[in-house]
Structure 1
Amino acid sequence: MSMTLHMVDVFGMDAISGNPLAVVTGAGDLATDAMLRLTRWFNLSETAFLLPPQHPDADYRVRIFTLDREMPFAGHPTLGTCHVWLECGGVPKHASGIVQECGAGLVGIRREADRLCFAAPPLLRAGAPSADELIEAQRFLGIDARDIVDAAWVDNGPGWLGIRLASADRVLSLKPARHWPRRIDIGVIGPHAAGGDTAFEVRAFFSDHLGAIVEDPVTGSLNASLAQWLFAAGVATADYRAAQGTCLGRKGRVHASRDSAGRIWIGGRTRTHATGRLHDLVDGRGQISAASPMSSPPSTGH
């Protein structure tokens, strides 16, 4: 099996300023647990495996893994995988756009100016959180109830709870907990002053497989569900651009738009910064080989 690794920056305004993604091609025979093991070795928020489609309407299929699980859908892997598929010579079956197959079903993607855009998938969970869920979010974020303008489940796969604050500055000032006793996925949004480069500031926090809290640099799935929420509530009335990753030294920019049919599209720039072969990894059963470099004793470095 010959596998190639593509390192893609997604949603960055400039080079290496967005969310990095590992996209692996040629992994059609790789077993699920081997995909997860490889994802953990890369140690990025997500790794995507580009595969031939199974659905007749799809152009390609992607399997998306975080450090602890396979995801039915995620935004920056969607755009990053599509970018790699196009770079590898992919030609869409349909004149209307590209169709991705993933765990959440079929996702439409289109090219627009200097970016790729995906159609926001339907929410799996919506509505207001319970009183206990809201109290937990307040404790996690270190804020009071009076700081929250609105809150809603905005889950399109990863499990996001959306929290809206009064300003971008309040979002940027958050100092959430560093560990949490159970899985938590919280997205926070607040408006910038009118007339600026971006309309909203977004931050995304989730717990990893060890319970440590990770802040995601730029999050397509969250921005998609936040845009659905904002447009439905009348908070957003026109297309807008959101900033994310500011507190991490990134310059993520996410474009949210609504077409004439009311469909939400989420877009951003994509760039491949490195490509190379993966060597000596897989045995005949699709598993990571016991003789591969990955089976060596763990490094003492960080």
Structure 2
Amino acid sequence: MTTRSFSQVDVFAPEPMTGNPVAVVHDASGMDDEQMAAFARWTNLSETTFLLPPRDPGADYRLRIFTPARELPFAGHPTLGSAHAWLERGGLPAAGDVVVQECGIGLVEVRRDGDRLAFRAPELLRSGPLAADVLDQVVASLRITPDAVLASSWADNGPGWLGVLLTSAEDVLALEPDFAVMGDLKVGVIGPYADSGDRPADFEVRAFVPSLAVPEDPVTGSLNASLARWLVDAGLAPTSYAVRQGTALGRRGDVRISSDEQGALWVGGECRTLVSGTLRV
């Protein structure tokens, strides 16, 4: 039995217990695939991560990301939460203020953005229009009519996302999906808030993943990164905007999309360690 440091970090959280938690195992060297998968099933969080020495000389650490059902090549809130935990435990980035994470899709940069951490949105692995039968399945699973969809597209940066733009945030919040019809699809839905002084954000987002143990993810970095890639490139969203996610689940996830001088998109949020301890397996 080996003892390892453990953190549980609340990500995209403006206050404690308002974001999406990720379990982080420090120095996971020596853990095999089955041990990692078993621990991820046991935590029963949307993701559990394992910090390892890098294989790529350009990385500060390597990260493996597990849901209760499978391993992911990339995920957003685990990236930010793991970078936060690594820094909090004394990690020193080789590139100054930029942490370089190695994961299944390659190298991902994480930087400080004021009080937030932000990761550089990776390139999409799949983009373009949905086939007619896929769009029909999405519409039926969301229990909406086809004319309620303003736009749709594949927007996959690793987990398999597709995106759907609705008319308003209120329409997004009113959704009551049929997960049996949705099947293996991973559906991200976004809609704008009305332009008023008291709106909580520019957009409301929901992430539906019935094939995983958690059918609706509270706050999703990878989805927001992929939606930003799609919507900004298509001229459907500005290069900087704020997202509220998790409202339907009693959360208040705060996700910030921004761009830099080179046109790269960054996905940021506040991270808070709520649990620190040790893991014995």
Bucket of the pairwise TM-score, normalised by the shorter protein: over 0.9
Identify the residue that residue 203 of structure 1 maps to in structure 2. 206
TM-score (normalizing by structure 2): 0.96
Post-superposition shift, 1:54? 1.1
Compared CA separation, residues 141 and 246, structure 1 to 2 (3 A): same
List per-residue Cα deviations over 1:26-56 (Å, max 9, x = no partner): 3210001110111001100000001111111
After alignment, is 159-168 or 89-98 more displaced? 89-98
Alignment size in residue pairs: 278
Identify the residue that residue 66 of structure 2 maps to in structure 1. 65
Secondary structure at the residue paired with 1:207?
coil
Identify the residue that residue 215 of structure 2 maps to in structure 1. 214
Contact 1:240 1:256 in 2 (8 A): yes
Query: What amino acid does structure 2 have at the position aligned with 1:200?
Result: F
Identify the residue that residue 259 of structure 1 maps to in structure 2. 260
Contact 2:8 2:274 in 1 (8 A): yes
Secondary structure at the residue paired with 1:126?
strand
Contact 2:140 2:181 in 1 (8 A): no
Identify the residue that residue 78 of structure 1 maps to in structure 2. 79
Post-superposition shift, 1:179? 3.3
List per-residue Cα deviations over 1:214-249 (Å, max 9, x = no partner): 110000000001111111111222411000000000
Identify the residue that residue 25 of structure 1 maps to in structure 2. 26
TM-score (normalizing by structure 1): 0.89
Contact 1:205 1:215 in 2 (8 A): yes
Post-superposition shift, 1:95? 2.7
After alignment, is 174-183 or 130-139 more displaced? 174-183
Identify the residue that residue 37 of structure 1 maps to in structure 2. 38
Contact 1:67 1:208 in 2 (8 A): no
Identical pairs, percent: 51
Larger radius of gyration: 1
Contact 1:127 1:153 in 2 (8 A): yes
Compared CA separation, residues 180 and 144, structure 1 to 2 (3 A): closer
Secondary structure at the residue paired with 2:135?
helix
Query: What amino acid does structure 1 have at the position aligned with 2:216?
Result: E
Identify the residue that residue 167 of structure 2 maps to in structure 1. 166
Query: What amino acid does structure 2 have at the position aligned with 1:97?
Result: V
Secondary structure at the residue paired with 1:273?
strand
**Distance of 1:54 and 1:108 partners within structure 2:** 16
List per-residue Cα deviations over 1:100-149 (Å, max 9, x = no partner): 11111000110011100000001000000000000010111111101100
Post-superposition shift, 1:181? 7.3
Contact 1:22 1:46 in 2 (8 A): yes
Post-superposition shift, 1:201? 0.3
Runs of 4+ in 1 over 2 A off after TM superposition: 178-182
Give structure 1 stretches of 5+ with no counterpart.
282-302
Compared CA separation, residues 183 and 154, structure 1 to 2 (3 A): same
**Distance of 2:88 and 2:139 partners within structure 1:** 43
Identify the residue that residue 188 of structure 1 maps to in structure 2. 189
Give structure 2 stretches of 5+ with no counterpart.
none
Are 1:49 and 2:40 counterparts? Answer: no
